[in-house]
Chain A
Amino acid sequence: MKPEDNKVMQLKDAVSKYIKHGCHLSIGGFTLNRNPMAAVYEIIRQKTRDLHVYAHSNGQGVDELIGAGCVSHLEIAYGGTGKFMPTCIRFKKAVQEQTIIVEDYSNFQMTLRFLAGAMGIAFLPTRSSLGTDIINKWGFPKEFRKQHDLIPNQKLVVMDNPFDGWCDTKKVVLVPAITPDVTIIHVQMADFRGNCRIEGLTFADVEQAKAAKRLIITCEELLDDDYLKNDPDRNQIPFIHADAVVKVPFGAYPTACYRYYDYDAAYMNAYARAAKNDDAYQQYLAAYVFDCPTHTHLLDKVGRGRVESILADRNRGYAKNLDRK
């Protein structure tokens, strides 16, 4: 490896270098799994503001970015983390109080939008959402869309099938490409150049990674040059897309990372309780984000016993006997 190929950075430096005020950001993972939480907490600590966030169903990460006041615009399909927060609480509050502007799509549409970005094509068609308010109702007004170069002039466009009914299809919806300034994903393994191996479901991480102008990868394990290349069938993202690689063990905590650790039900429950009350939420942010200069400090604060309790059974991929009440 040539020295210039080495993309390894400290988390603080990667975030301050690439994620500026007003940045168009997408984060990987899904609801309570493989959200790049260490990076999310670092963005909050750096007090980055006015982020335009793209997500399909990122629950925990998006909710914390909104709760800390980092987000002004959000394009999303789903704000929830399943049982712990059926609707993300700070997201709900921010939309109701109109402190963020949200634009709704479906999960497939958001995935197609990232794929279109990754393909370098302006839009892709689907049949999803025909006849619904996802097409009829817009969060970003037309004027706002016209004024901003980084978002398309229309939310969605319905079009007659130009192939005259081919494939029993009369109409399609065109979904516009997303090309975020930065995507951040958390993966199980990466190497110094940024080759990535994701274990378990990839969600839309690969599309999100390839759609972005810059890609920050946080990883559980940082490996030598040849390790991932010796078993390339298991790798999903080649290094050519990567800009920064950061080793952060438990970097998805408190969300899960398949084969490494489970979600921390106790943390997620405590988070949901705090999120319901503004004062309690400020105390949560102070104690668990601002008072923890690094992710290691957060893990120490939570306690190594708790962290050990969520370690995954390597074969099953989760903590078999974890108390999840």
Chain B
Amino acid sequence: MDYTLRELMTICAAREIKNGDIVFCGTGISMLAAMAAKNINAPDSVIFFETGAIDSKLEDIPLAVADPRIMYHTSANGGLMEAFCTMQNPMSGARIVGILGAAQIDLYGNLNSTVIGEYDAPDVRFSGSGGACDVASFVSRSIIFMKMEKRKFKKKLDYLTSPGFLDGPDGREKAGLPPGGPDKVITDMGVMGFDEHTRQMFLIGCFPGITPDQILDNMEFEIRTDRAVEIAVPTQTELTLLREKCDPHGLIL
């Protein structure tokens, strides 16, 4: 079957979303994954934006989290205060799944979306946290999109923007953060999870044609690969709904 890597990654993320989940999404592929879940496997999931829109109809794909397309046919149009309070509140926060991306990730799923190099004199400056640090601090689990490259899977981050498990199993508790943390990392070569005891990243599975060694070759740190299986490819139904219902004009795919 013909599909692109981007389509496969989007479908993999969508499959992680269940009915009843409240899905926080950012821009680009994360927004598309939330739309795909809603159209394919989790029609009763709720799409939610940090800008304050909740349960947007999304007749047309938004290109930013402040796109007016997210304001149409919502349960409520609020503002940033409402959105972040919904995440910080443990009653609603426990139902929220965050979808994030970053420039760098480490073994414990901490993310950098701020700088490469020194903070005061960066080699490369990125957008910064936006709401990502808030989401990573508050919500029960997050799904992270990453491209497999050595310079992105780092032993030590240049800047820790958004907390994963920080330095280990009790990292979040020591720092004073609520429980939660990263759940899956979806890359262009396979999918990773986090061990429930060590909180370290491990390989869940490879995409067709990819070996665990190829994945390790694209990381600066080692992860366990002994539990890896092959990831199921998208079905025709998944692909059709993704292409025709979610992004018919190919704005993100």
Contacts and interface: CB of A to CB of B under 8 A. Distances in A.
Interface of A: 29-34, 56-57, 59, 76-84, 86-88, 91-92, 95-96, 98, 104-109, 111-112, 115, 126-134, 136-137, 139, 158, 168-172, 200-207, 256, 258-259, 262-263, 265, 312, 316-318, 320, 324-325
Interface residues of B, number: 65
B77 interface: yes
Contacts of B133: 106, 128-129, 132, 134
Contact of A318 (B27, B52, B72, B129): B72
Interface of B: 27-28, 50-53, 59-60, 62-72, 77-81, 84, 87-88, 90, 110, 114, 119-134, 137-138, 159-163, 166, 171-178, 249, 251-252
B177 A127 contact: yes
Contact of B127 (A88, A207, A265): A88
B125 A205 contact: no
A280 B120 CA distance: 28
Contacts of B166: 131
Nearest to B110: A132
5 contacts: A57-B66, A77-B131, A133-B114, A206-B79, A324-B63
B128 A33 contact: no
Contacts of A131: 160, 163, 166, 171-172, 174-177
Contacts, number: 218
- Interface of B, secondary structure class, is loop
Q: Secondary structure at chain A's binding surface: helix, strand, loop or mixed?
A: loop
B138 A31 contact: no
From A201, A258, A318, name the one whose CB has the most chain B CB atoms within 10 angstroms: A201
A171 B176 contact: yes
A87 B175 contact: no
A79 B127 contact: yes
Contacts of A33: 64, 66-68
A241 B71 CA distance: 26
A83 B251 contact: yes
B63 A82 contact: yes
A262 B134 contact: no
B69 A318 contact: yes
Nearest to A126: B88
B161 A133 contact: yes
Nearest to B177: A130
Nearest to A173: B176
